[in-house]
């Protein structure tokens, strides 16, 4: 079976390779991913000065002319979220003042995404506020990956391309030649994501964990809807933060007779005590994530596998630059 990345490379051959007006600029959130993307595209990142004044204010300067260029700013708004978001907006402002033709914010991980609706009185919808701030900063387009909910794409009053990390995860799982697979959603809200993932894995059956959340980052698992006994259960979510939800789900699956449990997520937020929970012996056979967020060394553990989404993001950048279809990447 042809892998997703191999297929991308074949498609790239028919895309124009005129990159004279294409520029990549990396923020400080994930420079290693930005370097991988630049390597895939075949250009170098534009030098950038990013420093702080004594009072904590950020200073940004682009170190190369970008006049009339198509500029892609690579910056996941991960922890520290406020600093990453502010740095991205200052980068946008610097590019617009340097007469860039078009500025695209490449956001592999979109912070504040979980605050996407009101669940109680007097709450803010910070996902929308963040989108408003980015639009006000002058960005022309957004390229995001695995947004927490589909409606966030509509929060931007500018074009927003939304791509998915699932093909990279599916490619990896296909090399493991797993048998008797069942794809499991850790909660009812993730059913659509799990169903789409299951279709990519030989139309695997679907199971759902019914849970109730008593507080933020605290989940109480109740029951499994679906058959998981003697199955290889693949728990799929968009992100792993403290690990409470996905670990509670894994414990329940083990009790219900699942012979193997593998966790998959695009975004490894890994707030404490995530790595300690995820590395519990006998809970997960493997935890598979992408490098949309850099995983600190202290958060690595034996069961962890980090996959790169650089080629996929690089291909999307090329297609946006060449004004060709992004969605056709996933057909």
Q: Which residues are catalytic?
A: 211
Q: Which residue, 236, 283, 239, is CA-closest to 261?
A: 283
| Strand ranges for 96-229 from DSSP E | 102-107, 141-145, 160-163, 181-185, 206-215, 218-225
DSSP secondary structure code for residue 68 in this structure: T
What is the C-alpha to C-alpha distance for residues 286 and 175, in angstroms, rounded to an integer?
Answer: 14
Q: At 67, is the secondary structure helix, strand, or coil?
A: coil
The residue whose two tokens read 């390229």 is 143
DSSP string, 297-321: GGG--TTEEEE--HHHHHHHHHHHH
What is the C-alpha to C-alpha distance for residues 176 and 179, in angstroms, rounded to an integer?
Answer: 9
What is the C-alpha to C-alpha distance for residues 141 and 100, in angstroms, rounded to an integer?
Answer: 13
Alpha carbon of 146 to those of 46, 239, 310: distances in Å? 26, 9, 14
Instruction: Give the chain's length.
Output: 331
């Amino acid at each position: 079976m042809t892998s997703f990345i191999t297929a991308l490379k074949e498609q790239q051959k028919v895309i124009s390779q005129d990159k004279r007006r294409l520029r990549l600029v990396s923020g400080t959130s994930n420079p290693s991913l930005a370097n991988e993307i630049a390597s895939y595209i075949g250009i170098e990142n534009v030098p950038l000065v990013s420093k702080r004044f004594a009072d904590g204010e950020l200073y940004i300067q682009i170190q190369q002319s970008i006049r009339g260029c198509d500029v892609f700013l690579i910056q996941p708004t991960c922890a520290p979220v406020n600093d990453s978001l502010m740095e991205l907006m200052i980068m946008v402002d610097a590019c617009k003042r340097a007469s860039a033709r078009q500025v695209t914010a490449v956001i592999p991980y979109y912070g504040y995404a979980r605050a996407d609706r009101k669940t109680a009185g007097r709450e803010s919808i910070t996902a929308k506020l963040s989108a408003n701030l980015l639009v006000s900063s002058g960005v022309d387009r957004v390229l995001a990956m695995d947004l927490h909910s589909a409606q966030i794409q509509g929060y931007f009053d500018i074009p927003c391309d939304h791509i998915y990390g699932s093909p990279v995860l599916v490619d990896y799982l296909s090399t493991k030649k797993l048998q008797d697979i069942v794809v499991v959603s850790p909660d009812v809200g993730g059913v659509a994501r799990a169903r789409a993932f299951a279709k990519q894995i030989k139309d695997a059956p679907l199971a759902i964990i019914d849970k109730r959340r008593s507080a933020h980052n605290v989940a109480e698992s109740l029951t499994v809807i679906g058959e998981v006994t003697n199955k290889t259960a693949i728990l799929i979510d968009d992100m792993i933060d403290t690990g409470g939800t996905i670990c509670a789900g894994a414990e329940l699956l083990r009790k219900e007779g699942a012979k193997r449990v593998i966790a998959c997520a695009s975004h490894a937020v890994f707030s404490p005590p995530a790595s300690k929970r995820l590395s519990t012996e006998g809970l997960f056979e493997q935890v598979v994530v992408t490098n949309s967020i850099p995983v600190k060394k202290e958060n690595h553990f034996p069961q962890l596998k980090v996959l790169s989404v650089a080629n996929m993001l690089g291909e999307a950048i090329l297609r946006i630059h060449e004004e060709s279809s992004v969605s056709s990447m996933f057909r």
